[in-house]
Amino acid sequence: MAKCAFLGLGVMGYPMAGHLVAAGHEVTVYNRSVEKAVSWSQEHGGTHRGTPREASEGADFVMACVGNDDDLRSVCLGDDGAFSGMAAGSVFVDHTTVSAAVTRELFGEADRQNVSFVDAPISGGQAGAENGQLSIMCGGDEGAYARAEPIMQSYAKICRRIGDSGAGQLTKMCNQIAIAGLVQGLSEALHFAEKAGLDGRAVVEVISQGAAGSWQMANRYETMLDDQWEHGFAVDWMRKDLDICLRTANETGASLPVTALVDQFYKDVQKLGGGRWDTSSLLKRLQALD
């Protein structure tokens, strides 16, 4: 089994690091909030360190799941960053959703230090992380991916290399673009059913078995109908991701009219005080228009 470090113990990273221990790996963790790292160590029996560098020293694989581009740079670079503590030949695996630009930047910096870098953003939400059923989309060198893939299987439903550095992040953008449209469509369908005097649950029971069915419908319609918005990925984080998608679309020449519109709808949800509500709260925006 491998010696691993895990940097970032949020709602995704905390259970993911636990799955590594359950799979038999030796795990050292780092978290900006020390209390979370202490709690994780007490629960899972691993160790914790005070800086990314200290956590990464001697590790074969260093996993990270933090917030954004700047957070990722901060755990990778500098005297206390992970790259300073990693040995030549080790592999850094980034599970954060960030821009392809920062991924390629850090890939180059890691390469200069004889460290491999795999971008490996994840999808599946908190439940996927807790159940070890994440979809992992990867970019980077084939050899580095081949070494890291068995480790990632500790918390993966599917794990696949899409292409060179940045390809994982670009694939995650496709994921978020698809989700944005699906959630808006589901919200409109439930809103329409309510206005038409229909039983929303009965409607979903029927239409979910046909062409309208989706993961969002199967996993979110009940909480949406129950006016519960604390069951998934937060609106604030979704807007961060959609901003990455839209900026990248401008760079590549892609047209994303629906994504741009739904991003503005999420802005409306934030104005309602729903920045920490989950992404299905687009229905709440429609209800607020009544």
- Tens of pLDDT along 37-47? 999 999 999 89
What pTM did the predictor assign?
0.94
Question: In the chain, which segments carry CATH 3.40.50.720?
Answer: 3-164
What CATH number should be reported for the domain whose range is 170-288?
A: 1.10.1040.10
CATH 1.10.1040.10, the chain: domain bounds = 170-288
- Asked whether the beta carbons of 229 and 220 are under 8 A apart, the reply is no
pLDDT single digits (tens) 185-203: 999 999 999 999 999 999 9
What lies within 8 Å, CB to CB, of 198 at 6+ separation is none
Kindly report the number of other CB atoms within 10 A of residue 98's CB atom: 25
* CA distance linking residue 224 with residue 156, whole number of Å: 27
Q: What's the pLDDT at 278?
A: 95
pLDDT tens-place string over residues 71-123 = 999 999 999 999 999 999 999 999 999 999 999 999 999 999 999 999 999 99
Please identify every residue annotated as catalytic: 172
d(CA 287, CA 111): 51
User: Is-contact 94 64, C-beta < 8 A?
Assistant: yes
- Give the whole-angstrom CA distance, residue 68 versus residue 61: 21
CATH number of 3-164: 3.40.50.720
Cα separation, 290 vs 48, whole angstroms: 51
